[in-house]
Structures are given as structure tokens and as C-alpha cells.
Structure 1
Amino acid sequence: MTTLAEHVEDYLRLRRALGFTLGGYDDPLASFAAYIEAAGTGTVTAELAEAWAWLPVGIKPITASYRIGWVRGFARYLHAIDPAHEIPPPGLLSVPRRRPAPYLYSHEQVQDVLARARQLQPPLRAATYETLFGLLATTGMRVGEALALTRHDVALVDGILTIRHAKFNRMRLVPLHPSTTDALRRYALVRDHLCRDPRTDRFFHIGGVVERRDAEHVFLTITTQLGLRTAIVHPRIHDLRHTFAVRTLTDWQRDGSDVHAMLPVLSTYLGHIEPKNTNWYLSATPELMQLAAERLEQHFGGRL
């Protein structure tokens, strides 16, 4: 008779064979199997799954929600083998996801950030952060994706970036505007002149690897110095990505383009796994809502 622990191994092996990256699932599901067997049964029930999801005592509801989600997928697998295993119902321990409204940088604010980065010392650090922040603003890339770029990932002749380890370990190509490609070429020349023997093959470096926490700290310092960060307003480096997405949608809206038809293009460019992550910008941005209302009013001749 196959034990739950053995079923966990089979389940994870199957998921990986289907292309899923499940590095963080091994320990939780092994713990769940041990919990079920310690309860004196080899059968999964929704009640036991919920009790395990709340362990250890005092965890946050969002953590319990994640844990029950891990169990739900495993329980579906078990149920297909033996219907005696219960699948925790959808919505059990679910926590509403409330995404904060993005901080949208104006063109002038982005230029101010780049100008302040240009003043950093030493010169290689200044060139690296100015170009990094500029790339994030003009492509909407995630900061981790940009910092992970190697020299081979940046095609300065074709103007295309290869993102090899995006979110969920996916790969995508990011075509660049000619002006962005020119900026990367200038940076590469300065970088190689200032550091002829780097300790890394990363495209962005300061002799060694630029850590994400360091980039975020520099950005936080600059936005604070510029007065953009206050006790109430907390702009983040990730908001450069939000700004790019919103500005792109706004430009399409103003040009009269079919925004919903173009959304998959933006979704692919940004590396979104689910289209709903891109759709979110349509309702999260007052400016876009206003433009949509104006287009409706024009379409119906003011009869709204």
C-alpha cells in the first residue's frame, strides 16, 4: 500500500515532469502527509487540511491561505486515485487580495531620478544606477530581471533583451526602443572603460554583482532626497513598472486604439502569466477610467 509520503513524491515528480517549478512545495507537503498519518488516518479530509493550514499557531491568514492552496492541488491528485480523499473546497481560508494603488511617476520625476543617480560616486556606480533606472522606466521590466541580465543577454546590435529567468522561471524577449539601445551602448562603453576586469558577467555591475536590496536602497535614498517620499506617499522602484504599463495603456487610449485587443501584447511584453494582472491597470488608474468614460461619451454622442 502506497503511503501518503510516497504519494507526495509521486505528485511532485509528475508536476515537475509537466514543467512546473515546485522547489518550495516539498517540505510543506511532506509535513502535511506526516500530519495526516499522525492523526491516525491515511485519508485526507477538508477538516484535517484546514487544521494543518493554520499551523504553526499564530500564523497570518494569508499564510494559511497559501498552505491550503498547496494541499488542494495535492488532494485533487489523491482524489483521482481514491475518491475517499476530500478536496478542500474553493474559497476555504481565502483572503481577498488588495493591491495598493501604484505610484505613477511623471516624465519630469523620472528625469530627476536619473539626474540624481548621475551624481552618485564613484563614476561606475553613477553610470550603472542611472542606466538601470532608465531601463526599468522605459521597458517596465522587473528590477530582478534587469539585474540578472548577462552580457550575452543584451543584444546591442539588434536591440533585444533575453530574460532567461523571469517570474515562474519563464523566458521572454524584450525588444527595445532605439533610444534605449543607444543608452545601453553608451553605458557598456563607460562600464568597460571604468572597470576592465569585473568579477561578474552581469551586464549591470559595479565591479561585482549589484544586489537587488542595494538598488532598492539607492532608489529609496534618491526619491527621499527629491521629496517624492513622504510619511504618506511611498514610491517604490517597482512603481516604474506600473508607470510604464499605465502610460502605455493611456497612450493607446488617447490614440483611439482598441485597448482590450492590445492588452495581450502588453501582457506578453511585461511577462505577465495571467492577463488579469494586466487588466488590473484599467480599473486601478483614475486617468484611464476618465479617458474610457470620455470615449464612451463621444461614442454615444453625450447620451450617457
Structure 2
Amino acid sequence: MTARGLAGDAADFLNFRRAMGVQYHRGEFVLKGFVLFIAEQWGEQTVALDEAVRRWSSRVAGRKAVTVSQEFGVVRQLCLYRRRTDPWGYVPEHALAPVKESPFLPYIFSHEEVLWLLHAASSHRGRWIWGPMFRALMLVLYCTGLRLGEAVHLQMEDLDLRRNTFLVSHSKGRSRIVAFRPDLAKELNQYLEARRQILRIRRVKEPQALFIRLDGTPLTVKSASEAIRRLLRELAIKPPAGRIGPRPYEFRHAFAVHRLTAWACAGVDVQAKLPLLSAYLGHQDVLGTEVYLKATPQLLDLASRQLQNHLRHAHTPE
């Protein structure tokens, strides 16, 4: 394999990924760096791909294992793609980059904390952030697991109250439809009525954004994030200073963990449900969803008891 040949394979692989609706900007950056490394090390000489991958993965000492693993995953996907036309093509073993996920464990809001936040948001009176909108935003975050940016960027046309769905467009390189329950639809109808009153009082043109500030302009991710952080500090859920403690993103984590916990309590096969939850959350693969299985002791305990119960009732072969 030469750098020139690998560059052609990488271009074909990127076209293949994007034909499936994945923008893959980060992957393109990694692959360009990999090809450049081979060109700098070997020029136009032929190189064994296993040696190239090994030396590229260890090219910088002291890098975070999760960073190495993420880059390694992109190159491994390229190798798997090449094997479609070359059955004997090299595919690196996972052992070259054993860490597949970040050791970070998210903060999970309790049900009581969610209720405190919703109550405080409902009565919030800020210069730009107003109570009904703040409450509706938090409900969307918690009840659907949308990322903060996804929720803030929702347009009026993305909301379908006949089918109770959101259209989340071009997030992480893809679009998806997110369904929600009738109780959230009821809350959104109440918010939309309050929204109409605000626009009528302010005498401003109907904006495309679903979530608007008190002056009728679209809500921004920055102002929403700052408002949520302030509320977390006011309720002593987050320390009064510093970057430690729960973040606005924690609503998404709480949604996922509470959903998995409810399934586990109902005796549902959680592992079988993971791909469904992964697709709903907009994860690229189920690995991004599996981290939630380790997020709370309660969920781990439920999973352990389910396994013990399954083994206890399993038939012993004669």
C-alpha cells in the first residue's frame, strides 16, 4: 500500500459514508492526517498497512487513551471498507486501542431535582428568559433527551402536534424524527398560547424559532445554557462557582437513564432496547448509549438482579 493508493481509498470511503447521510467531517480530518503521516514517513514507497497503523497510533506519547481510540476507530472503519474489495485486506485488532469510551460518568438528575427545576423555571422572571418558555424548554430536554442545541434550534415548522413529533434536522450529520408523549404535547400547546400573547404584546413579526426570548427574538444556545446554569446554582444542585457539577446537557443523560431504569423495573430486556434508544437519541452507534448502563448504582443493581433471576430460572441440561 502507498500513500497515494490509500488516499484514493479514503476518498471512496468518505463518499460512501456521505451517501448514507453522514457528513463525517471529523473522520475526514483523521483520515487526511493518517494519509499525510504515511506520505511523510514512507514517501511513495510501499508500506505494510499493519506497521503504518501501529506507528501512527503511537506517534505521540502521552495522549489520552480515549482520543487515540476515537481516531483508531476511524482508521479501522476505512480498513473494513477496503476489505469489501480485498478479502485479505488488513483490519487492525481492537487491542491496538483498547479504550472504547470515556471514563466520564454523567451527573443524573433525580426525579425530585427535575421537579424542583421545572417549578423554579415556571416562575422565572428574567430580562430575556421568561417562565413559560423556560419551563417548556426544560420539559423538551428532559422528556425527549434532545441536545440543548437541537432543542434551541427547533423551528415552528419542526413541531408537529398532530403526530406529536419533532423534526431534528442535520444534527451530528443526520436528521431524525423524535416522537413525544401527549402530556408533553399539552405543555407545548400551553407554551404556544403564551408565545402568541408575547408576540401580540410586543407587536413583532412571527419568528421561525420555536423558543423565543421575551422580546420575541430567537433563543440562543448561549443564553439558554447560562440561564440553566444559574438556576442549577440557585437551587444548590451545582456549586456556586467553577466548572464542576451538573451542566445543561445533564437533562439528556437523565432522560436516558430514567428510561432505562423504567424498562429494567418493568422487567424489559434492556440490552434489546439499547439500539432503539440509541436511534432515538441520535447516536451514531449503540456504543454511545451503553455508557448509561453504568451511570447509576440503581441501574447496575437492577441489571444484576435481572441476570441472577435469569440464571436461577434457566433449565439445567441433563
* Structure 1 segment 124-139 matched on structure 2, within 5 A: 125-139=130-144
Change (3 A) 1:272 1:209: same
Q: In 1, distance between residues paired with 2:108 and 2:39?
A: 51
Q: In 1, distance between residues paired with 2:237 and 2:192?
A: 30
Give 1:210's match in structure 2, choosing from 212, 215, 219. 219
1:251 equivalent in alignment to 2:262: yes
Which residue in 1 is equivalent to 2:71?
67
C-alpha deviation, 1:297, in angstroms: 7.8
Q: In 1, distance between residues paired with 2:54 and 2:308?
A: 50
Which residue in 2 is equivalent to 1:16?
18
What one-letter code is carried by the residue in structure 1 that aligns with 2:97? L
Secondary structure of the 1:248 match is helix
Q: In 1, distance between residues paired with 2:17 and 2:283?
A: 21
Structure 1, unaligned stretches of length 5 or more?
none
- TM-score (norm: length of structure 1): 0.78
What one-letter code is carried by the residue in structure 2 that aligns with 1:285? T
C-alpha deviation, 1:168, in angstroms: 4.3
Change (3 A) 1:89 1:224: same
Give 1:223's match in structure 2, choosing from 210, 228, 232. 232
Secondary structure of the 2:26 match is coil
Secondary structure of the 2:136 match is helix
C-alpha deviation, 1:184, in angstroms: 1.0
Tell me if structure 2 keeps the 8 A contact 1:199–1:208.
Answer: no
Tell me if structure 2 keeps the 8 A contact 1:68–1:93.
Answer: yes
Tell me if structure 2 keeps the 8 A contact 1:136–1:240.
Answer: yes
Which residue in 1 is equivalent to 2:316?
none
What one-letter code is carried by the residue in structure 2 that aligns with 1:224? R
C-alpha deviation, 1:267, in angstroms: 4.2
Tell me if structure 1 keeps the 8 A contact 2:257–2:295.
Answer: no
Secondary structure of the 2:25 match is coil
Which residue in 2 is equivalent to 1:178?
182
Structure 2, unaligned stretches of length 5 or more?
314-318
Change (3 A) 1:294 1:71: closer
Secondary structure of the 2:166 match is strand
Secondary structure of the 1:163 match is strand
Q: In 2, distance between residues paired with 1:269 and 1:18?
A: 18
What one-letter code is carried by the residue in structure 2 that aligns with 1:191? R
Sequence identity, in percent? 30
Change (3 A) 1:284 1:24: closer
Q: In 2, distance between residues paired with 1:34 and 1:297?
A: 51
Which residue in 2 is equivalent to 1:110?
114
Tell me if structure 2 keeps the 8 A contact 1:46–1:89.
Answer: no
Which residue in 2 is equivalent to 1:237?
248
Tell me if structure 2 keeps the 8 A contact 1:103–1:239.
Answer: yes
Which residue in 2 is equivalent to 1:32?
34
C-alpha deviation, 1:131, in angstroms: 1.3
C-alpha deviation, 1:19, in angstroms: 4.1
Give me the CA root mean square deviation. Answer: 3.7
Q: Tell me how many residue pairs correspond in the alignment.
A: 300
Secondary structure of the 1:165 match is strand
Change (3 A) 1:62 1:200: farther
Q: In 2, distance between residues paired with 1:249 and 1:81?
A: 40
Higher relative CO (Cα under 8 Å, sequence separation at least 6) belongs to 2
Which residue in 2 is equivalent to 1:285?
296
Give 2:153's match in structure 1, choosing from 140, 148, 154. 148
Give 1:270's match in structure 2, choosing from 255, 264, 281. 281
Q: In 2, distance between residues paired with 1:142 and 1:236?
A: 12
Which residue in 1 is equivalent to 2:126?
121
Which residue in 2 is equivalent to 1:3?
4
C-alpha deviation, 1:90, in angstroms: 2.6
Secondary structure of the 2:95 match is coil
What one-letter code is carried by the residue in structure 2 that aligns with 1:14? F
Which residue in 1 is equivalent to 2:95?
91
Which residue in 2 is equivalent to 1:193?
197
